Amino acid sequence: MSWKNAVWFRLNVGFIAIILVTNVVLFLVTIFGISEIIIEEVQTRVRMDLNSADKVFNEHIGDICLLLKATSARRTVPVPLESWDREDLHKLMQSIWQAGELDMLSLLDNDGRVIYREHNPSQMGDNISNNPIVARALREKHCVRGAAVVTYEELERENADMLRMASLEIKSTKVDQSEKRTIHRDGMVVGAAVPLVDLRRDGEIVGFLYGAKLLNKSSGIVDEIKEDLYKNESYQGMDIGAATIFQGDVRISTNTMGKDGLRAVGTRVSSVVYEQVVEMEKIWTDRAFVVDDWYITAYEPIRDPENRIIGILGVGVLEEAFVHDRKLAMWLFLSVVILMTVISLLLLTLMTRTVLRPIGRIIKMSDKVVAGDLSARVNMRLPGEMGMLCLAIDQMADAVAQREEALAQATRRKIGQSEKMASIGRMSAGIAHEINNPLTGLLTFEHLLKNEEGLSDKGKEYLEIMYNETSRMREIVMGLLNFSRESSLDMKLLDVNEVIRQWLKSPCSQKDFKDITVEKKLAEGLSKVNGDANQLQQVLTNLCFNACEAMPEGGILSISTSEENGKVLISVADTGCGIKEEDLEMIFEPFFTTKSVGKGTGLGLSVSYGIVRKHDGIMKVESEEGRGTTFTITLPVVSG
């Protein structure tokens, strides 16, 4: 026997597989559990960082609002605003610009028309009421602050420097190779619009002061967020954290660095983040690929004063910095697992070969038994379970030998019984043939005598008795002939429904149907079967006459057909007395009958069963005493 088939080898392989699978599962569960904990803690930190970044972002907007409010509160505004002395107005606007480091500063009238633009005084008279900050301030008549997108034309009217700052070249990254745009020209600002009040006219609003900072290529807000949150933390020379402001899907302000060492302005956010934050208006907290590395990130939408999403505020920490410790723990744990696995396998192999050495004796004994030597035994009585196994195998061998002998005896008896039944069948056929001819003659002469004149009534009565008894004898003889002969079938393609309809038209099917209601339920479109119509009608005759005899007081006889799973089913059901449970297993046996003496031969169902079997069919019976009986014939359909 090959060593690969040895019991010890297969047991070792099984135990090795169990140990390896267990250790691998333990390793994976532990590593992934640690990873999940680390990632969850980092995500919690990043969510909190996003809250802090949002606070810094809004503080910058609030500072602009406070600056403009303070200016409007301590100044007397001339009416109309166009009458404001240009020199005084320039000094005021310059002081505001220097205090707030504003990129845009304009004086507006109540319709949003620019009366004075600090960075380009020659450009005036244009209307910027389409700016969301200005539009809401004009509408609500109070200070409005927030972020907004300004168009290329508005930036152009400010000055050329702002136009250059806002213009960005779109750069491709590993997760974004899109080339649908190459230049980003609009800008995003944070700012405020404050009403100017004429105290001499009971606080009447005579105009608005509008100021804003351009975020494109500006690093002030994002660097302040990074300083507050990550305090110059680094990993392998890379900053551990970063903050980014997006206009739409484009980075316009960030401290995330590209491989060229420059800020990665002009790159796009990944499509999955954009879809969730901008299109689905949800906060993103998960790992994401940022420019060249994976980060644990958090993003939230930036909305303008009209509540429209115009960009994204995001923060993130370098994922690699937090998985470094996980990798060290993973390799250490993996080393321990491998070492313990090797030691376990060595010990297991040694123990298995020692403990299972007697199994070879058992295998040899088993091979002998399989080869036919039922006298082979292990004959080993070791202590413990191995000894119990040897004893059990010997007992099993004894039991197998005993059952083999009993089976051989039963087979011999069965063969003898079959030979006897065959002899009886041949003898019955011969006797039936010899008796059938004189019985036919007797019936003929009895029929002739019944028609003779001058026969007394008593003689006629005796003659009728003789005729009936002779007919019964002939019926028994015909049953014996049908049971014993191997008649050939005239097989043809048949429509089962047509066979049943022709049988119902025949006179023989009507004579015993008094007080019987015949119901037929023939399914349409049945497949054809291969069969002998006469033989199948004989089966129907036997089943239906038995059903009628089971309903002496009348009842319902149902004949139905159906097709299931490539089989045609014929059901004959009655509402008669039913069959006792103990008789169900014997009803197809020859000469078995539950009818009274003289009422049947016990061959009808046996002959019918044989006919169905010759058609490669199955006959089944279901019955409940007092409720009726159903015989079901299943015939195979003709394929193709």
pLDDT in tens, 186-218: 899 999 999 988 777 677 888 899 999 999 999
> Mean pLDDT: which of 16-25, 156-165, 293-302, 460-469 is highest?
293-302
Is 50 exceeded by the pLDDT of residue 597?
no
* Whether 283 and 375 share a structural domain: no
Question: Among 402-416, 540-554, 588-602, where is mean pLDDT lowest?
Answer: 588-602
Whole-number pLDDT of residue 510? 55
Render pLDDT for 421-473 as a digit per residue (tens, 0 to 9).
556 556 666 666 667 667 676 667 666 676 666 677 777 677 777 766 676 56
Is 90 exceeded by the pLDDT of residue 532?
no
Identify whether the C-beta of residue 154 lies closer than 8 Å to the C-beta of residue 189: no
Cα gap 189→104, rounded to integer Å:
9
Render pLDDT for 366-382 as a digit per residue (tens, 0 to 9).
777 777 777 777 776 76
* Whether 168 and 136 share a structural domain: yes
What is the rounded average pLDDT of the residues 501-508? Answer: 72
Cβ neighbours of residue 551 closer than 8 Å, sequence gap 6 or more: 515, 516, 557, 574, 575, 576, 577
- Domain span at residue 603? 488-636
The encoded tokens of residue 224 equal 């302040």
Domain termination site, one of 482, 517, 547:
482
* Whether 191 and 339 share a structural domain: yes
* Whether 343 and 240 share a structural domain: yes
Helix, strand or coil, per DSSP, at residue 375: coil
Q: How many residues does the chain have?
A: 640
* Whether 2 and 133 share a structural domain: yes
* Whether 322 and 263 share a structural domain: yes
* Whether 352 and 389 share a structural domain: no
> 251-254 long-range contacts, Cβ below 8 Å, gap at least 24?
252/168, 252/184, 252/187, 252/188, 252/215, 252/216, 252/217, 252/311, 253/215, 253/216, 253/217, 253/218, 253/219, 253/221, 253/222, 254/222
Query: What counts of helices (H) and strands (E) characterise the chain?
Result: 14, 21
Where does 460-598 show beta strands of DSSP type E?
A: 492-494, 516-521, 529-531, 555-564, 567-574
* Whether 262 and 384 share a structural domain: no
**pLDDT averaged over the chain?**
80
* Whether 533 and 461 share a structural domain: no
* Whether 406 and 445 share a structural domain: no
Is 70 exceeded by the pLDDT of residue 43?
yes
* Whether 464 and 425 share a structural domain: no
Domain termination site, one of 415, 432, 449:
432
Identify whether the C-beta of residue 183 lies closer than 8 Å to the C-beta of residue 155: no
* Whether 88 and 168 share a structural domain: yes
Cα gap 257→240, rounded to integer Å:
11
Whole-number pLDDT of residue 506? 67
Whole-number pLDDT of residue 598? 46
Alpha carbon separation from 473 to 254, 439, 466, 509 (Å, rounded): 113, 8, 10, 22
The model's pTM is 0.51
Render pLDDT for 59-109 as a digit per residue (tens, 0 to 9).
999 999 998 888 777 666 777 877 787 888 888 888 888 888 898 999 999
Identify whether the C-beta of residue 497 lies closer than 8 Å to the C-beta of residue 622: no
Whole-number pLDDT of residue 591? 58
What is the rounded average pLDDT of the residues 410-419? Answer: 68
Is 70 exceeded by the pLDDT of residue 511?
no
What is the rounded average pLDDT of the residues 533-538? Answer: 83
Of the chain, the end-to-end C-alpha distance in Å amounts to 51
Whole-number pLDDT of residue 329? 73
Is 90 exceeded by the pLDDT of residue 412?
no
Domain termination site, one of 432, 451, 473:
432
Cα gap 630→624, rounded to integer Å:
9
CATH number for the domain spanning 589: value is 3.30.565.10
Is 50 exceeded by the pLDDT of residue 177?
no
The encoded tokens of residue 500 equal 């049943």
Count of domains for the chain? 4
